[in-house]
Amino acid sequence: MPVLGVDVGGTATKAVLVDDAGAVLDVRSRPTPRRGPSVVPEVLDLVAELAWELPAERIGVAVPGIVDERRGVGVFSENLGWHDVPFKDLLADRLGRTVAFTHDVRAGALAENRIGGGRGAHTMLFLPLGTGIAAALVTGGRVHDGDGYAGELGHVDVGHGEPCLCGGTGCLEAIASASAIARRYTALTGREVCGAVDVARRVEAGEPEAAAVWDDAVEALVTALAWTASVLAPEVVVVGGGLSGANGLLLDPLAKGLSARLTFQREPRLVPAALGGLAGCHGAALAAIADHRGEPCR
């Protein structure tokens, strides 16, 4: 029984076809339609096209932003510019069958918890560091949704005092996201870089300005993780995004900083995400399987 998982990302829409056992049968990637008045019908067309190319018994679809899974509604997406779109119903109409509808980061957390870096953890934080920072929590083996509002670790005040696009001040995202690292490096040095990976290379090459920007990001992430350890006590934190493989540069300093900051709290294991950019579509497929079984596992 093949299952299709589709992850509508800010830039690319990815799809994975898996078998019963979760083995990958096929993968696709397409540009996501641009924001604008026709973005919703174009997204529906794209999902229909992928469903036609990769025939499956069940389909799960994940979208970004604020997502109310219980009502099946995409409440808000800054990047794609939609408000209150009843995706679950629209997808069912367009595809002629029931579709599992979920949130991209929570889908990623589900996948990392079931088949990825946090396999088997009862309590887990999934922290993908990308253009923005959104996180997702697993508590009691289930992904916590807070009616669609949970997981906004990117918009907690870590005390750096700089403004954030959200209107807040001191947000984690404004200092520690991949795009913030690149932007702050350019602001400091006047030198353009190809993203945070480029800044990471300069840190490894021993460039002090790059190291300063990097250390700010690590320090802010330590603050956010120390809070999370105190309040949620995850066994494991699964760090995702393009930088998560850089153990020596990211996970090691994070673990060291966290260990120095915590007193009696439980220190989580920090591990890199195992599913990379496919976590969201794997999670959408898992959501489709869970929906089919009537499980409340999300």
| Interaction site with a second copy (CB under 8 A) | 66, 76, 122-123, 135, 137, 139-140, 142, 144, 146-153, 155-157, 159, 166-168, 223, 226-228, 230-235, 261-266
* 3 state SS for 145-209: CHHHCCCCHHHCECCCCCECCCCCECECHHHHCHHHHHHHHHHHHCCCCCHHHHHHHHHHCCCHH
| Long-range Cβ contacts of 201-207 (<8 Å, 24+ apart) | 203/249, 204/249
Task: Compute the least distance from the CB of residue 171 to a second copy, in Å.
Answer: 9
Residue 185 to residue 227: CA distance in whole angstroms: 27
| Cβ-based nearer residue to a second copy, 147 or 162 | 147
Q: What is the Cα–Cα distance from 135 to 47, expressed in whole angstroms?
A: 25
CB of 68 vs a second copy, minimal distance in Å: 11
| Dist. CA 282–CA 275, nearest whole Å | 8
Smallest gap from Cβ 285 to a second copy, in A, equals 22
Residues forming beta bridges with residue 102, ordered by sequence position: 62
* Contact criterion met (CB below 8 Å) for 88 and 101: yes
Q: Least distance (Å) from a second copy to the CB of residue 263?
A: 4
Nearer to a second copy, 190 or 296 (CB): 296
- Nearer residue to a second copy within complex by CB, 112 or 219: 219
Nearer to a second copy, 18 or 124 (CB): 124
| Nearest distance from C-beta of residue 226 to a second copy, angstroms | 7
- Residue closer to a second copy by CB (options 180, 199) is 180
Distance of CA 276 to the CA centre of its chain: 10
The span from the CA of 188 to the CA of 209, in Å, is 7
Nearer to a second copy, 170 or 277 (CB): 170
- Name the minimum Å distance from CB 59 to a second copy: 25
